[in-house]
Amino acid sequence: YANTVGYCTGDCEFSRGVLAHGTWEPWETAVAMAVLAQAPPERMPIVVDYGCHVGWYSLLAAKWGFDVLAVDADAEHVVVLEHNARLNDAARRVTAVCGWIDATRAPLPAGPRIRLAKIDVENAEHYATATLRPSLDDGLIDYVLMELSPEFGHDWLHAVGDLGLAGYTGFVIPTKGDDLDAFEADPLAVTLTRPLDVGLVNRQMSALFCRP
């Protein structure tokens, strides 16, 4: 983003959205919070946030009590994330890393259980799932929340394939434009009634993946 003419972290779509509405991606946020709220109380797993931007999901998880690995390619995003973590008394829970998710990034070793892996990396989804493959194959990741962006390319299809091979099923999260108040049911329960059909993905949307 730093090399994109006119881009400004403080005046991007995310920053304007949070300032105007006090939240970001209401459905995705509600689903993520439901997933975090239902984590097994006896052993708190970690959260991985690929494409963390300035830390919306990372800080929600940290404030909920999770340790977070947050990765973003833009150095300014990481600086703002670290500042946000300090402002929210969450600095000790967030490990922020500036770097690209690409073929050079080594897989994360399978170890602690990952409650949620959030992936929003604009056509590098396959690289992200590749780094998580050891934990995916061992069933150590409970949920994957991934943005699918066909306008950026088809890498997300390979990522969905990786998840399927590891035994994960995808479900479509209601679109960003849907009114969260239109559904009285639990947002996670609503999402799990909407199976993902990759043939119908013709615009940007988010999907949740989990094992049966």
How confident is the model over 54-82, as pLDDT tens digits? Answer: 999 999 999 999 999 999 999 999 999 99
The average confidence (pLDDT) of the chain is 90
pLDDT tens sequence across 21-62: 788 888 899 999 999 999 876 677 999 999 999 999 999 999
Give the separation between CA 196 and CA 198, rounded to whole angstroms.
Answer: 6
- Residues whose CB falls within 8 Å of the CB of residue 19, separated by 6 or more in sequence, listed in order: none
Beta-bridge mates of residue 210: 143, 169
Which residues make Cβ contacts (< 8 Å) with residue 66, sequence separation at least 6? 36, 39, 44, 45, 46, 47, 93, 115
Q: Which pLDDT score, from 0 to 100, does residue 181 have?
A: 59
Enter the pTM of the model: 0.92
